[in-house]
């Protein structure tokens, strides 16, 4: 009798690994019946990760989106699954236990069957509550191992994590190979050992295509006894995304596995609809590099889904780095040379930072440190001079136990700065908060919603939810989309897969006193820098002139470093933040007095 291989379509992750946004709820409702008609999927990944933040950014209600999106699959008997980040829930930073518990109750009520839970550090303590709360809510608990390749990430290491999560009661285990750098033979051996020790447990493999090894890994884990393989489909398969179901089905069929047939008429319909969503507006926010496979990722271990934000980072700092090199009489770097330089820096600092698996949010932390180190070294300074607070939390153990030992230089720096290492359970550092958010909803006259799903959204994504309720999110997105279309039109780019990603939005709101004075606001929570390389970027004082399209500062967030661009010709009326200041999304950075005719710039001192 042939061993059966089942497929799960990663319709959510396909979009997240491609670009910034995903289909709106009405688009999801249109494509769902045709995914069902394909007849080859036992599961669909419908939500989790960045899904709900994106709906909020659109100005849409994410709870309606999840209910509408999961409903047709539930009715067809296809299981739906979500992705959540254990201690971080479905956001980028830690979540109180009471909010985590409510999440599973809400998602189960909305039609989500399976919770795929991963800890980016593989700290089993962070997974314990995910497993407990998921099962308590009636969901299937699927605990994930964050796969990477390093001297400490051995089969024995992962089997130790498996022992704990099985003891906690997980129903399934997922090998989450988020960068696609897991070595096929090693992953096969890991699955063999899991199946030998726990023969009744379901094993799933999730691997991105990025470096090109995940197809071989799929064959190895299938032969070792894996039950489910995560796949993508055109036009969003391959590249930094996931292998296509057509290819994987053919490989598994040839290897002697029992695999389902694909209704190719339905496949082409889903393919066509997905392309129409790209053509509609999503293509403006998809970086063409995410359609390319790069084996350079093998050495750095960075996940493919980061390539879009990483390339935006490099574009944002490339000019400044070369200006610094030129000033020192050194040769300037090409963009390709800078990419290689960043990969090498990641290789250098990864062991020093304790080998955190390079998955959200820790991949962003390591990449940010590497990028900041390059800036520091280019300016003649030492490494590790610019580490943000979230990265320090990782280093100090507040997010969980690091897999490896920290380098002496990091320990010494922490001691010099008076920082204390945390050895307790990470969850204990984040007290319950639901009563606070419940009080806010009551004060604002907001309904907590069916199954308290609106309360959950506020507690999980408070800033985005407030913007959604006020209408600011929808206005901001529409403004960003208009700019993206204008940029594409001016460059002659079509609304296709290779459309350039838009810059972060700066919303123009007329000043109350002088209608020509407009604020430039922070597009995200982060830290503001004016000179990263020794160059003077900041307008030195009110009255200085700025040009449309001119960089006026940089912002560093958890995920990226980007330029803040002045949208108008004008004169600086106010500089609201200083070098190194921490800002929240929407904070005013500058006020610019707009001038309709092109300004004649005066030289800054």
pTM of the model: 0.81
- Tell me the domains of the chain and their CATH numbers: 1-79+261-286 (no CATH), 433-470 (no CATH), 506-594 (2.40.50.100)
Where the chain has pLDDT below 70, the residues are: 300, 302-313, 315-316, 491-514, 531-540, 558-561, 596-605
Q: Tell me phi and psi for residue 545, to 5 degrees.
A: -95, 145
Which residues have CB under 8 Å from 346's CB, separation 6+?
300, 301, 302, 358, 366, 367, 370
Could you tell me how many residues make up the chain?
Answer: 605
Residues β-bridged to residue 520: 590
User: CA-CA distance, 165 to 20, in Å (whole number)?
Assistant: 32
Output the six-digit token pair for 481.
């989309």
H helices present in 214-332, as ranges: 214-224, 245-254, 264-280, 297-300, 307-327
Query: Tell me, what's the pLDDT at 497?
Result: 44
Enclosing H/E stretch for 141 = strand 140-146
Could you report the per-residue pLDDT of 100-143, keeping only the tens digit for each? 999 999 999 999 999 999 999 999 999 999 999 999 999 999 99
User: CA-CA distance, 423 to 421, in Å (whole number)?
Assistant: 7
User: CA-CA distance, 67 to 55, in Å (whole number)?
Assistant: 13
Q: Mark 149-166 as b/e (b = at least 16 C-beta within 10 Å).
A: bbeebebebbeebbebbb
> Could you tell me if 196 and 236 are in contact, meaning their C-beta atoms sit under 8 angstroms apart?
no
Q: Tell me phi and psi for residue 574, to 5 degrees.
A: -160, 140
User: CA-CA distance, 399 to 391, in Å (whole number)?
Assistant: 10
> Reading across the β-sheet that carries 570-575, which strands appear in turn?
517-521, 588-594, 570-575, 545-546
User: CA-CA distance, 205 to 452, in Å (whole number)?
Assistant: 33
For residue 340, the tally of other CB atoms under 10 A from its CB is 14
- Give the distance from CA 78 to its chain's centroid: 26
User: CA-CA distance, 53 to 485, in Å (whole number)?
Assistant: 22
Output the six-digit token pair for 244.
């296509």
Which residues have CB under 8 Å from 222's CB, separation 6+?
3, 5, 205, 229, 252, 255, 257
Q: How many angstroms separate the most distant Cα atoms in the chain?
A: 80
Query: Tell me, what's the pLDDT at 313?
Result: 66
> Could you tell me if 500 and 491 are in contact, meaning their C-beta atoms sit under 8 angstroms apart?
yes
Output the six-digit token pair for 475.
């206005």
Query: Tell me, what's the pLDDT at 494?
Result: 41
Query: Tell me, what's the pLDDT at 540?
Result: 61
């Amino acid at each position: 009798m042939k061993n059966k291989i089942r497929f799960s379509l990663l319709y959510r992750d396909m979009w997240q690994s491609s670009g910034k946004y995903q289909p709106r709820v009405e688009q999801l409702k249109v494509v769902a019946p045709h995914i069902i008609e394909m007849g080859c999927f036992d599961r669909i990944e419908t939500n989790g990760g960045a899904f709900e933040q994106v709906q909020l950014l659109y100005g849409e209600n994410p709870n309606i989106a999840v209910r509408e999106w999961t409903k047709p699959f539930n009715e067809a008997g296809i299981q739906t699954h979500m992705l959540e980040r254990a201690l971080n829930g479905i956001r980028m930073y830690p979540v109180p236990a009471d909010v985590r518990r409510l999440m599973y109750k809400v998602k189960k009520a909305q039609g989500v069957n399976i919770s795929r839970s991963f800890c980016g550090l593989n700290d089993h303590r962070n997974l314990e509550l995910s497993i407990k709360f998921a099962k308590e809510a009636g969901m299937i608990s699927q605990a994930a191992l964050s796969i990477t390749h390093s001297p400490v990430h051995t089969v024995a290491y992962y089997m130790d994590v498996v022992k704990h999560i099985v003891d906690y009661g997980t129903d399934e285990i997922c090998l989450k190979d988020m960068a696609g750098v897991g070595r096929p033979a090693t992953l096969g051996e890991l699955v063999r050992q899991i199946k030998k020790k726990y023969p009744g447990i379901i094993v799933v493999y999730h691997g991105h295509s990025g470096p090109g090894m995940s197809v071989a890994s799929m064959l190895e884990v299938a032969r070792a006894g894996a039950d489910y393989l995560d796949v993508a489909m055109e036009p969003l398969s391959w590249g930094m995304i996931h292998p296509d179901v057509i290819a994987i089905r053919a490989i598994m069929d040839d290897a002697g596995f029992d695999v389902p047939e694909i209704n190719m008429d339905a496949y082409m319909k889903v393919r066509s609809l997905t392309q129409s969503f790209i053509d509609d507006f999503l293509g403006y926010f998809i970086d063409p590099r995410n359609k390319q496979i790069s084996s350079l990722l093998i050495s750095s271990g960075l996940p493919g889904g980061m390539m879009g934000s990483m390339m935006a980072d490099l574009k944002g700092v490339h000019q400044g780095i070369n200006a610094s090199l030129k000033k020192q009489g050194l040769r300037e770097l090409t963009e390709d040379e800078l990419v290689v330089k960043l990969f090498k820096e990641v290789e250098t600092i990864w062991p020093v930072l304790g080998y955190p698996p390079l998955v959200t949010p820790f991949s962003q932390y390591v990449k940010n440190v590497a990028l900041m180190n390059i800036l520091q070294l280019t300016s003649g300074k030492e490494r590790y001079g610019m580490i943000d607070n979230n990265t320090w939390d990782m280093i100090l153990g507040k997010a969980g136990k690091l897999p490896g030992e920290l380098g002496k230089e990091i320990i010494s720096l922490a001691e010099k700065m008076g920082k204390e290492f945390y050895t307790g359970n990470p969850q204990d550092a984040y007290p319950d908060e639901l009563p606070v958010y419940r009080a806010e909803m009551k004060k604002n006259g907001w309904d907590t919603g069916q199954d308290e799903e609106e309360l959950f959204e506020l507690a999980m994504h408070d800033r985005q939810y407030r913007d959604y309720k006020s209408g600011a999110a929808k206005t901001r997105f529409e403004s960003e989309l208009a700019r993206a279309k204008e940029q594409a039109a001016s460059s002659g780019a079509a609304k296709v897969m290779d459309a350039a990603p838009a810059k972060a939005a700066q919303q123009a709101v007329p000043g109350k006193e002088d209608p020509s004075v407009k604020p430039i606001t922070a597009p995200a929570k982060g830290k503001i820098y004016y000179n990263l390389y020794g160059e003077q970027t900041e307008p030195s004082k009110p009255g200085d002139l700025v040009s449309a399209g001119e960089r006026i500062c940089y912002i560093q967030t958890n995920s990226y470093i980007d330029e803040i661009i002045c949208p108008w010709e004008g004169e600086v009326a106010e500089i609201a933040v200083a070098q190194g200041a921490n800002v929240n999304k929407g904070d005013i950075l500058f006020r610019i007095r707009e001038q309709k005719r092109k300004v004649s710039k005066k030289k800054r001192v």
